[in-house]
Amino acid sequence: MERIYLFRMGIQSLRLRILPVISLIAGLLFPTHAQETGLVKRVWNSVFNDTTSIERPKFIAYPTLAYAPETKWELGVSAIYVYHANRDVKNRLSEINAFSFITLEQQYGLWMDHALYSDKSKWIMLGRVRLQQFPLLYFGIGPDTDGEELAQIDAGSISIRERVLRKVYKNLYLGFESDLHKLSNVSLTSLSNEPYEMPAGLLKFRNIGLGLGLVYDSRHNVLNVREGFFGETGFLRYDDAWGSDFEFTSYFFDARYYHSLAESQVLASQIYFSEVQGNAPFSQLSLMGGESLMRGYYLGRYRDKTLLAAQSEYRFLPFPFSKRWGAAAFVGVGTVSAGATKLDMSKLKVTGGTGVRFLIFRSKDIFTRFDVAVSEDGLGYYFFIGEAF
């Protein structure tokens, strides 16, 4: 879940995450000199040579720096923690990602993602947290928006999504899904000279979603799956009976398949569908784009009640001639509509790209990725720990 490094031609927005770990740079360029000092040697061996035992947890944290016209300079800290339950490597790898930031425009945020597996994977906890005061760009609703931002919406937002699931048979899990979505201190700055319809949700609101989820999960390492299948379907109901200001139901389906075609080569594919029925605010419609699905598009560049998207990625992890460097190539298609029966395949959006990989934790088989994606809106650059899906 590392923060996005993104340049969009249409928005002229530049976000740069910097890893100011001088020992890393020095070590990559001058490995002999980098290991002469005791501190650098310990950091280098612990993180990049994985001298610690395979069953021990791994942790890395580093400062980040970013710039975007809507935020100005931004300072932050990123961190990742991975472990096996009971330090048993036969258990699936659990991971916690965190990122916090503050900008010179008095914007701030805390992002956290996690995939936690208990001993023998009897329980799974999948979730994410987004706490932030940060601007959102609004392009309108539907598949035919022209790419010009209609408005910038500044708001304080809280989004907490959690799934707690119990194994019912082998890799099949059933459990409780919950979601809290809250907006406050909302203000809109119009960026268009043309009139447009204001979206629902521009005032302070709180929505609480409760539902059920069914998950099939045979993955062993969620940050780098080499073989397996992940499938999730379920629903969330938002109702005033338990404190929601808007009443609607969200349905979702996510299927991911991973297959090793050769040593260190993986083909990964995903199909994703979501639909909102009822009166949902603009921020809880089905959103297309972001760092994982339909890379190359700003998250929310296209939004509507229904989203259908698919992507496929070929990964070299690593190259046959290298112990740490690899690459990937990917392509994605997707569209949004006002309902499942109104999906128009002639309005599919296409994105694709390539990227490099670097093996950061050898014993845990975890790579960092730097991806470049191309879409009709221009280029997108992404720097993350872990694969996109």
Distance CA 294, CA 377 (A): 12
Q: Which residues contact 53 (CB under 8 A, 6 or more apart)?
A: 363
- Name the least confident of 15-24, 186-195, 327-336: 15-24
* DSSP single-letter state for residue 106: S
Facing residues of 355 across strands?
A: 328, 371
On whether the CB atoms of residues 222 and 263 are closer than 8 A, the answer is no
Q: Among residues of the chain, what percentage have pLDDT more than 90?
A: 71
For position 381, what pLDDT does the model report?
A: 86
**CB under 8 A, 24+ apart: contacts of 77-85:** 77/101, 78/2, 78/3, 78/17, 78/385, 80/2, 80/385, 80/386, 81/57, 82/57, 82/58, 82/223, 82/361, 82/364, 82/366, 83/57, 83/58, 84/55, 84/57, 85/117, 85/118, 85/119
* Contact between residue 102 and residue 95 where contact means Cβ atoms under 8 Å apart: no
Mean pLDDT of 353-372: 93
In Å, what is the CA distance from 218 to each residue of 117, 225, 273? 12, 10, 21
Domain boundaries, the chain: 7-385
Average predicted confidence (pLDDT) for the chain:
88
Once rounded to an integer, what is the mean pLDDT over residues 353-368? 92
Report pLDDT digits (tens) over 97-113.
999 999 988 889 999 99
DSSP 119: G
The topology (CATH level 3) of 7-385 is Porin (2.40.160)
Note the pLDDT of residue 24.
Answer: 44
Of residues 71 and 144, more confidence is placed in 144
Q: Above 70 in pLDDT, residue 31?
A: no
| 0.95 surpassed by pTM | no
Partnered with residue 272 across adjacent β-strands are 254, 309
- 223 closest CA partner among 364, 64, 86, 355: 364
Model confidence at 252, in pLDDT bands (50, 70, 90)?
Answer: very high
pLDDT at 365 over 70: yes
Lowest mean per-residue pLDDT among 2-11, 30-39, 330-339: 2-11
